[in-house]
Amino acid sequence: MALLQGRSVRLVATGMAVPERVMDNDELARIVDTSNEWIVERTGIRERRIASKDENASDLAIAACRQAIDRSGVDVDSIDMVVVATNSPDTLFPSVAARVQGAIGASKAGAFDVQSGCTGSVYSLSVASSGIASGLWNRVLVCGVEVLSRLIDWEDRTTCVLFGDGAGAVMLEAGEKEDPGVMVCDMKSDGTKWDYITLPGGLSSLPASRDTLAEKKHFVSMKGNDVFKFTQRVLPGYLKDVCSDAGMSPSDIDRWIFHQANRRIMEGVLKRLGVSEDRAINNLERYGNTSAASVFLALNEAYEGGSITCNSGQKVLITSFGAGMTYGAFIYEA
């Protein structure tokens, strides 16, 4: 269990950016054999945002990060590191983080991407917090961004109904000992389940070729039922242990921010934890699964909507799961 030691780490501002284009379920039903009722019943999603042809992951990330910077009021020269969680970068290299660092003018900052499936969100928050707590960095800009609409087979209704595009960002910085802040950063993986969610084509294992294109190896493939069973088997006990090791129970958590993947997954985990659904932040129906960006979007809207308020003492738990199979949890006091 990773109880954060060292200096206090504060979350001081959030931001987000989503494409203008909204694709609702009725539009999707004109593309693939599905319906609004089928999608809502099985996922809870009603619409998602889709990036335009000239809109890349870095564009959304830059916009979200600029909003977080503006809200925090910090000088960009005081940012020590830019960390971006993404599974759909503009390019494998250079990183999205490097593009963000250059665009915002954070001339003294380093930059790197985190690729760990949808759990890249929690992993990036944990790495950034650990760096601050240890004294390595004083201020870190963290972002989650996806343009997964370009990695989806729009003829496969098992995946194309799920995903959307967007970006969210948070500013983390060192605080005083008495300040509320990050309490837990925990990261786990079960690599024996690596084949549950994959995108096999395009890199060293299966370099791009006519065959990989014809066989649709460049699209996301997912064993949906296996993923669902994994979350219901693993997450409830894991999250109970996370809370217990932090000296709390699930009932002590004021706000739950789940990876916005599927309403049935969230409902099932909450039921097994004995936690009321009204404690969970849910914006899945409007954005779909935005992978490594999803918890950042939900966190930003929770602050904007007043569900989470600064200096309130609220205990907030952020959790995600994704390809790998990776999973993790991040607890902080607002």
Which two tokens mark 10? 């504060």
CB atoms under 10 Å from CB of 3, counted, come to 13
Name the residue type at position 222.
Answer: M
The CA distance from 298 to 318, in Å, is 10
Torsion of CA 240, 327, 166, 97, to 10 degrees: 120
HSE-up (13 A, CA, CB side) for residue 66: 13
Torsion of CA 233, 239, 241, 245, to 10 degrees: 170
The DSSP call for residue 36 is H
- Catalytic option among 56, 87, 262, 289: 289
Q: Is 118 a catalytic residue?
A: yes
Q: Is 259 a catalytic residue?
A: yes
- Catalytic option among 118, 160, 185, 243: 118
Residue 315: closest CA among 84, 11, 71, 65: 11
Give me the DSSP letters along 201-221.
SSSSSS---HHHHHTTTTS-E
Query: Kindly report the CA angle at 137 between 131 and 139, in degrees rounded to 5?
Result: 105
The DSSP call for residue 31 is T
Contact, 77 vs 108, CB < 8 A? yes
The DSSP call for residue 7 is S
The helix-helix angle for 224-245 and 263-273 (nearest 10°) equals 40
Residue 271: closest CA among 246, 286, 247, 250: 250
- Catalytic option among 160, 259, 282, 300: 259
Residue 231: C-alpha distances to residues 116, 157, 161, 193, 287 (Å)? 16, 21, 20, 12, 21
Active-site positions read 118, 259, 289
